[in-house]
Structure 1
Amino acid sequence: RRLLDDPRARELLGTFAAQWLGIESIAVADKSTVTYPEWQPALGAAMAEETRRFVTHVVFDGSGSFDELLTADYSLVNPALASHYGIAGLDPGLGDQDFVEAQLPPERAGILGHASLLASYAHSDQSSPVRRGLFVRQRLLCQQFGTPPPNAGGVPEVDPNATTRERFRQHSSDPNCSICHQFIDELGFGFERF
């Protein structure tokens, strides 16, 4: 308890959260502005800051529980994030460094709906059920998987006539792939509503 009472604990917890969740470099992520026209480094930085502040808020000012981390119907947003999430009604006088508590749309509940996580575990021009599934397995469940073989296929091309699940079907139909992907992809498909 003495460590948490130290004024530096809030900042350190935010840094720990960014490292634990793997979001620390989202501000410099290479995102396609064709696919994501609103993308800019400042938005990525705001995404990471939201998650750092949210984790710190839950631990120091909230219940401190995993339940709240995973199911909270609110987050701490600045004007750019409010616009990104479609949240209206923020004080028009707020600046980019002003993060305030705001209700999130239901599909964004909890830390797993944060844009920082979704953007960090996606490709530059499309989502990635593999990266997101691995995130859950490795960062949340502490499970490890081996390195993919050198002949592993790349990311399937975007096809407007196919769902993500259909495009990644090879992972479950090829025994060389399914040995790992049976444990990864299904978790990642759960993030496809974003």
Structure 2
Amino acid sequence: MSFDHNDHYHGLLLRHLPENCRRALDVGCGTGSFARKLAARGIDVDALDPAGTAIGTARSLATDPAHAARIRWRRADITATALPSGTYDYISCLASIHHVPFDTVEKLREALSPGGVLVILGCYRESTPSDRLIGLAAVPVNAVCRVVTWIRERLGLKKDISRPSVTARPPMTLPEMAAGARVLLPGSTIRRLLFWRCLLVYRKPLPGRDGEGAGE
């Protein structure tokens, strides 16, 4: 039953789109589910993933010509890819940052246009009683969502396809991510979500405005 934890939060991530967003970067795009949703909103998207099979599948699933024309699929490792400075109005990272050094966010920060938004749907290593309590609470909800997804698939109501949300063990705890964000993404916010995820949001200040420290 292919309930995808990352896809579940697409609506939440889209609520952080800045006004008049024209260009976006989707880091670790997988099979392109979120990139297609951005394109459907009239946004030009650079979609990157290091896996050639994922990029090939993403291209094959972009069946709407109008949307497909707005997406540039690239097989690329974000740590080895040069990004144009001050270019993107919106950058998304769905369960991908924990696969690379966290200071990669500095490169993403510099690629944002003034007022641009970076959203990271992150995976973190449980380290506190609160982490474990939320993780425990997610187990029965996850089971229900899997059953609902299975029913929708059988009824033909779920048509989008994305890669499974199986991930490597995250190296950082939530407090460690928050500490790193305070240094590299001043003014960002980070909070726990259900389904073993967290949300980090950073808005690049407009010229002449300073950010504030990240909080949990």
TM-score of the pair, normalised by structure 1: 0.31
- Say which structure is richer in strand: 2
TM-score of the pair, normalised by structure 2: 0.29
- Say which structure is richer in helix: 1
Higher relative contact order (CA 8 A, sep 6+): 2
Larger radius of gyration: 1
